[in-house]
Amino acid sequence: MYPSASVDSGPSRFIYIHLYPLHQIILKQISDIISSHRATMATAPYNYSYIFKYIIIGDMGVGKSCLLHQFTEKKFMADCPHTIGVEFGTRIIEVSGQKIKLQIWDTAGQERFRAVTRSYYRGAAGALMVYDITRRSTYNHLSSWLTDARNLTNPNTVIILIGNKADLEAQRDVTYEEAKQFAEENGLLFLEASAKTGENVEDAFLEAAKKIYQNIQDGSLDLNAAESGVQHKPSAPQGGRLTSEPQPQREGCGC
């Protein structure tokens, strides 16, 4: 019934994986529209032009999941369970008037998951590399995280270094200056943030997005490259007006 070729699964079998499957993009877009619809019927649903994939990496307990939670929910999650493999968060932000959807992969920090989480880097447009300013060991491991990030993502992936737990000034174990210097030496963006107070959390995600957007604008990030980690929807005819599209189509087809 099926041509025998259909069983064949060459290397091509999984090639698509590192990109967001199209439907996912669509679904995400529309689901955002829906949620906004639900929130306020009157408000025009939002739309976005890009999707950026982010990964958050760093040692266990540095607060990766808390940063994500603070960013997406604007709340501090005091009791955060260990992440198994990876968890997800999404939020739409705006950069230079463009709505951008961040799809954030929050990876497990436990060493034992390292081999597993390495699989998730692919196709990331941005990487948040997090350490805990009160624990020097988490800072010392950065070079290993950085190596992974460099090796497993594309050269244009924007990496931002984040010193978390900035609210715990009294227990500081890593100075701002040395981290800043490390970041500069390695061409990383850098911020100290606090998932607890929310300080700089927003900025951390935004700064990376700005940089990515800038890379798109100046052409250094090729959106057609397989692993750019960025999805653009160039064919949306009305630019910003995604919402109205599905309907007319349906009507068009239905008549």
Residues making contact with another protein (CB under 8 A): 1-3, 5-10, 12-28, 30-31, 33-35, 37, 41, 84-86, 88, 103, 105, 108, 112-113, 115-116, 119-120, 122, 223-224, 226, 231-236, 245-247, 249-255
Closest separation between CB of residue 134 and another protein, Å? 27
Closest separation between CB of residue 58 and another protein, Å? 17
Of the two residues 122 and 172, which places its CB atom closer to another protein in the complex? Answer: 122
Closest separation between CB of residue 112 and another protein, Å? 5
Which burial class, exposed, middle or buried, applies to 228 when counting CB atoms under 10 A from its CB (0-12, 13-18, 19+)?
A: buried
Q: In 3-state terms, the chain is what percent helix, strand and coil (to 5)?
A: 40, 20, 40
Residues 72 and 89: beta-carbon distance below 8 Å:
yes
Of the two residues 6 and 43, which places its CB atom closer to another protein in the complex? Answer: 6
Closest separation between CB of residue 147 and another protein, Å? 18
Closest separation between CB of residue 205 and another protein, Å? 17
Closest separation between CB of residue 18 and another protein, Å? 8
Of the two residues 28 and 165, which places its CB atom closer to another protein in the complex? Answer: 28
With a CB cutoff of 8 Å and minimum separation 6, the contacts of 230 are: 50, 51, 52, 53, 125, 212, 216, 221, 223
Measure CA of the first residue to CA of the last residue in the chain; give whole Å: 36
Of the two residues 26 and 168, which places its CB atom closer to another protein in the complex? Answer: 26
Residues 156 and 214: beta-carbon distance below 8 Å:
no
Closest separation between CB of residue 246 and another protein, Å? 3
Cα 46–52–58 angle (5° rounding)?
130
Of the two residues 1 and 170, which places its CB atom closer to another protein in the complex? Answer: 1
What are the backbone dihedrals phi and psi of residue 150, each rounded to the nearest 5 degrees, phi first?
A: -70, -40
Of the two residues 41 and 170, which places its CB atom closer to another protein in the complex? Answer: 41
Of the two residues 16 and 178, which places its CB atom closer to another protein in the complex? Answer: 16
Residues 149 and 121: beta-carbon distance below 8 Å:
yes
For residue 164, the number of C-alpha atoms closer than 13 Å in the C-beta half-sphere is 27
Amino acid at 163: G
Cα 55–208–135 angle (5° rounding)?
65
Which burial class, exposed, middle or buried, applies to 86 when counting CB atoms under 10 A from its CB (0-12, 13-18, 19+)?
A: middle
